[in-house]
Amino acid sequence: MKAPKSSPRVKASKMERANYKWIYLFLLPTVLIFLMFYFVPIIQVFLTSFTKWDGFNAPEFNGLTNYINMFTNSGFTYALKNLFYWCLVGMFLHVGFGVLTAFVLYQKPRGWKFTRMVFMIPNVISAAAWAMIYRFFFSDDMGILNSFIRLIDPNFHVQWFYTSPWAFWAVTFTWLFYAVIVTLLVLGDLMNIPQELNEAAKIDGASGWQLVRHIQLPLCRSAIGTSVICTLTSRISMYEQISLTTQGGPGDDTMSLSILLVKGITDYRYGYANAIGVLMFVIGLIILGIVNKAFRMDVSDY
C-alpha cells in the first residue's frame, strides 16, 4: 500500500521549518551584540542606580537615595521643564519645518535638487561644531546677529547665551532648522506613493490641498511618526549644544538631564548619574509608546 503523498502546503511548511536553523544562525551575532553592548549595560545601569558608587570602589546599596536627591534637586526641575518645552518646539516647529520642506521639494520646483543639496550641507557638520559656530553668531561684540541689529539700534547689546530668557532660545536655534533627516524620511514616503492614487484623486476633482490632506499626509504617517521619535529622543540626550554654549546657565535656564548626568560622573557620583540615565531611558520608552500609538505606526499604509 502506497503512503499518502504530502500536499504542496505541507511540503512548503516543512521547508520553512528546515530553514529556521539558518535564520537563527544569522541572527545569533546580532543577538549576542545586543546582549553584550545594550541589554547587559542597561541592567547594570538600573542596578547601580540604587547604590552609592564612585566608579572605583564597589557599589554600596543605598536604596532610593539617588532618586530622592534627583527629584529634590532644583536643577532637575528646570531640566524637566526645559525638556518639555524643547519637545513641544521640536515636535511642532522642527518636525513641521522638515515636513513642509519635504512637501515643497516633492513638487519639484525649479532648482529643487540644488535646494535639497544645500539643505543637507549644514547637517553634515557635527552638533559640537555648530554649537561653536553659534557662539560667534550670537556673540555681542562680533556676532552677525547683533551687528545687524545695531544697524537699526546702535545701543543694542545682548549676550544671548548668558542672558535670561534669551539663552533658552539661543540654544534652541542651534538645532531648530536643521531638519534634513525629517525631510529625507518624509520625502522618501512621498516618492513611494503610487501615482495612480494621485491621478485618481485629481480625476475625482480633488484640489491640491485636498490631495495633501487626504492622501499624501496620511500615507506619510509612519515617516512623520519616526521623525517625531527621533526629534524627541534627541532632545532627551542633547548635550553638546548646551555644554559648549551655556553649560546649563544662566542659572538653570538651559539645564538638561544630560548635563546633570555628566556632572554626576565628573563628581564621581556614578550611582546618581545612573539614576538620571534610568529616568532618561524610561522617558524615551514612554515617548516611543505614545508616538507609536498616536501615529498608528504598526498599521500598514497600503
Consecutive H or E run containing 52: strand 51-52
CB of 51 closer than 8 Å to CB of 59: yes
In a domain, 189, yes or no: yes
Among 22-31, 158-167, 214-223, where is mean pLDDT lowest? 22-31
Claim: this prediction has a pTM higher than 0.85: yes
Over pLDDT 70: what percentage of the chain? 93
pLDDT given for residue 204 in this prediction? 83
Cα–Cα–Cα angle for 285, 93, 114, nearest 5°?
Answer: 110
**Domain boundaries, position 241:** 75-294
Kindly report the CATH number assigned to the domain that includes residue 172. 1.10.3720.10
In a domain, 246, yes or no: yes
Higher pLDDT, 14 or 112: 112
In a domain, 136, yes or no: yes
Average pLDDT for 237-254: 94
In a domain, 158, yes or no: yes
- With a cut of 90, say whether residue 242 has pLDDT above it: yes
Helix pair 270-294, 257-266: axis angle to 10 deg? 160
Residue 302's pLDDT band (boundaries 50, 70, 90)?
low
- Cell numbers for 237: 540626550
pLDDT given for residue 5 in this prediction? 53
In a domain, 115, yes or no: yes
In a domain, 226, yes or no: yes
What digits encode the pLDDT tens for the residues 149-188? 999 999 999 999 999 999 999 999 999 998 999 999 999 9
Closest CA to 262 of 276, 279, 278, 246: 276
Average pLDDT for the chain: 90
What digits encode the pLDDT tens for the residues 126-136? 888 989 999 99
In a domain, 59, yes or no: no
Q: Report how many domains make up the chain.
A: 1
In a domain, 33, yes or no: no
Residue type, 238: M
Average pLDDT for 36-60: 94
